[in-house]
Amino acid sequence: MPSKNIIPNLDELKKMLVSENEDFLRQALAKMLNLIMELEVEAKNKAARHERSCERMAYRNGTRERSLSTGVGEIMLQIPKLRSGQSYYPGFLQPRRMVDKALVNVIQEAYVNGVSTRKVDKLVEDMGIKVDKSAVSRLYKELDESVEIFRNRPLTGAYPYIWLDATFPKVREAGHSQNMAVVVAIAVSDDGTRHILGFDIGMSENGAFWEEFLRSLVRRGLSGVKLVISDAHEGLKKAISTILPGTSWQRCRVHCMRNILCHVNHKQQGMVAAMVRTIFAQESLQEAKKQLRNVVNQLEHHFPKAMQVLENAEEEILAYMVFPKAHHPQIYSTNPLERLNKEIRRRSNVVSIFPNRKAVIRLTAQY
């Protein structure tokens, strides 16, 4: 049960963070560390301070003070003492562990969450920590080893559904900044768990790049693929048929709808979209194809180009209907992957221009 003192502590911390007190960082760190100790003791005792509980393991016996040197100055800790033969030692005061190591983790986490290198540099300077110009960037590179382990891990089991898509951050290379393609693959395993299979970055989203990316997934053990969901990029379609022969392909129907509506004037787009959606509301593949023909017959006189796009995409946008109906909401579009790419783009926009490809991979890995 959370302590009643937690909320007041957090309120005090908020006041420090918005005050103009020059010692606010030191006070805030002290308040946070003391709060962490309170929570650790509550977990150890299985009861909050002053709480009556039959599960209580020990009682409080005051506190003992201990000073601690940190990157923001000397702070004083109030370490809780326990009775009944119990003892407590803070987890963050492990022997020979520097508190500044925690600050390193904070800096790395800031980067993962989209805070630019320049802003983190300023944060470090404001905290009074003396570092050379490239220190923050070097801290980020400590993430690379775990990233590569994740990217090259073996893929075990079967993945019946795979979503593929790309996003385009701006990267500096050879003295020039340019948009590069970050390709991502996510999948659902037989037990229904969603996984990020892999990701890579290349100069452009061409067929050769997609082919090499899919081939790398197969080398790592990708198998059991029944359906691939993506947009209608020609290079990607070719790569799928080459590397994953015999696999069904579902064209993202959201992307297809946009392609259809770009040939319809703005005032009538709502009506046309509603008509097209009736196709996907059918109970079977045969009924959906029949309804598609009805829609084309009704609208082709007014919107010939739009209906040509719909007619040409018939097999591609209805491929998902041969799979279990319960899966349809997830496999008819790339929406599951679009949400991931949206978050990557949001954080990429904070950085604006990445210094190199590794920096992009480092951020993408955190999802």
85: region left, alpha or beta (phi > 0 left; psi from -120 to 50 alpha): left
Q: Name the residue among 290, 298, 330 with its Cα closest to residue 314.
A: 290
Residues in the chain: 367
Q: Which residues, in sequence order, are CB contacts of 127 under 8 Å at separation 6+?
A: 25, 71, 72, 103
Same domain, 41 and 131: no
Q: Is residue 237 part of a domain?
A: yes
Instruction: Report which DSSP code applies to 319.
Output: G
**What's the pLDDT band for 26 if we cut at 50, 70, 90?**
confident
| Interval 136-177: pLDDT, tens | 566 556 667 778 888 899 999 899 999 999 989 889 888 888
Same domain, 106 and 80: no
Same domain, 306 and 323: yes
Q: Is residue 26 part of a domain?
A: yes
**What's the pLDDT band for 5 if we cut at 50, 70, 90?**
very low
Q: Is residue 150 part of a domain?
A: no
**What percent of the chain is modeled with pLDDT above 90?**
42
Same domain, 89 and 16: yes
Same domain, 241 and 341: yes
Strands 176-179 and 170-173, by their bridges, are antiparallel
Q: Is the pLDDT of residue 13 over 70?
A: no
Q: Is the pLDDT of residue 277 over 50?
A: yes
Strands 73-82 and 161-167, by their bridges, are unpaired
Q: In whole angstroms, give the CA distance from residue 241 to residue 367.
A: 28
Q: Is residue 238 part of a domain?
A: yes
Q: In whole angstroms, give the CA distance from residue 236 to residue 197.
A: 17
Does the CA dihedral 45-46-51-55 come out positive or negative? negative
- State how many domains the chain has: 4
Q: In whole angstroms, give the CA distance from residue 208 to residue 188.
A: 25
Token pair listed for 169? 């951050």
Helical residues (DSSP H) of the chain, grouped into ranges: 6-18, 24-45, 99-112, 117-126, 135-141, 144-151, 207-219, 234-243, 253-261, 269-280, 285-299, 304-312, 314-317, 328-331, 335-351, 357-364
CATH number at residue 337: 3.30.420.10
Q: Identify the pLDDT of residue 7.
A: 46
Q: Name the residue among 297, 298, 300, 280 with its Cα closest to residue 289.
A: 280
Q: Identify the pLDDT of residue 126.
A: 61
Same domain, 265 and 309: yes
Q: In whole angstroms, give the CA distance from residue 251 to residue 342.
A: 19
Q: Identify the pLDDT of residue 23.
A: 59
Q: Is residue 190 part of a domain?
A: yes
Same domain, 248 and 350: yes
Same domain, 285 and 176: no
Same domain, 137 and 192: no
Q: In whole angstroms, give the CA distance from residue 242 to residue 198.
A: 19
Question: Rounded mean pLDDT of the chain?
Answer: 80
Per the CB < 8 A criterion, the answer to whether 158 and 341 are in contact is: no
Q: Is residue 33 part of a domain?
A: yes
Mean pLDDT value across residues 50-73: 74
Of the three residues 312, 327, 342, the one that is the final residue of a domain is 327
| Interval 307-345: pLDDT, tens | 999 999 999 999 999 999 999 999 999 988 887 788 777
Domain encompassing residue 16: 1-96
Q: Is residue 149 part of a domain?
A: no
Same domain, 213 and 340: yes
Strands 161-167 and 227-230, by their bridges, are parallel
Q: Name the residue among 219, 182, 181, 224 with its Cα closest to residue 199.
A: 182
Q: Is residue 66 part of a domain?
A: yes
Per the CB < 8 A criterion, the answer to whether 282 and 295 are in contact is: no
Per the CB < 8 A criterion, the answer to whether 353 and 170 are in contact is: yes
Same domain, 241 and 162: yes
| The pTM of the whole model exceeds 0.75 | no
Q: Is the pLDDT of residue 20 over 50?
A: no
Mean pLDDT value across residues 84-106: 61
Per the CB < 8 A criterion, the answer to whether 184 and 199 are in contact is: yes
Same domain, 257 and 237: no
